[in-house]
Amino acid sequence: MKLVFATHNKNKFKEVSALLSSKFELLSLTDIKCFDEIPETGTTLQENAKLKTDFVKKNFNLDCFSDDTGLLVDALNGEPGVYSARYAGEDKSDEANITKLLASLELNPNRNAHFKTVVSLNINNQQYYFKGIVEGVITTKKSGSKGFGYDPIFIPNGYNKTFAELALSVKNSISHRGQAIAKLVEFLNTSSYTNN
């Protein structure tokens, strides 16, 4: 079964590919020759995820899913939230985003935060949503070289390593995106779509 994952992010694509079974042929935006930067003008993660699936469905008429993820920091009243990818500017620099976040927190003792992912699936012209959340804390400095985004400064509850220090298999088993994609896969596996 062919499914488009509406992303140009190679790291994200790799993570999600590892979660899907071989019955799915996963295609990226690059694979379908979509080189546009799909505008994320929504005010919520769900709106942004839906914008991306709607774009692919409208322009390529392919079944598609997408995700939007935000890091919500308690001491910053939920920032960067829906603006996580462009927190430090439109160039979407992971390094700049991390630097700004750590500077915003400074020595604030409240380091509590959570990641939230919303996956939007548009299949057979029907829309479905799947969510995942992982609680944790923000470190005071970067640690680890795996992962992407804010992974080097986020330690999930119950662990003493950042997402950037954990093996991909471990991260996928507990992460916000892993949870949401697992719900998507369960839905696809128990629906009639995989038999089409």
CA triple 103-156-75, angle to 5 deg: 35
Classified as helix, coil or strand, 180 is: helix
Taking the C-alpha atoms of residue 98 and residue 85, their distance in angstroms, rounded to an integer, is: 10
Range of the domain at 114: 2-195
The C-alpha torsion from 23 through 26 and 32 to 38, rounded to 10°, is 140
Taking the C-alpha atoms of residue 153 and residue 169, their distance in angstroms, rounded to an integer, is: 19
- State the catalytic residues: 68
Q: What is the CATH number of the domain that holds 6?
A: 3.90.950.10
Please, what are the averages of pLDDT over each run of 10 residues along the chain (196 residues)? 90 85 87 90 95 95 95 97 93 94 95 98 94 98 93 97 95 93 90 59
User: What is the model's pLDDT at position 193?
Assistant: 60
CA triple 13-49-75, angle to 5 deg: 95
Structural domain count of the chain: 1
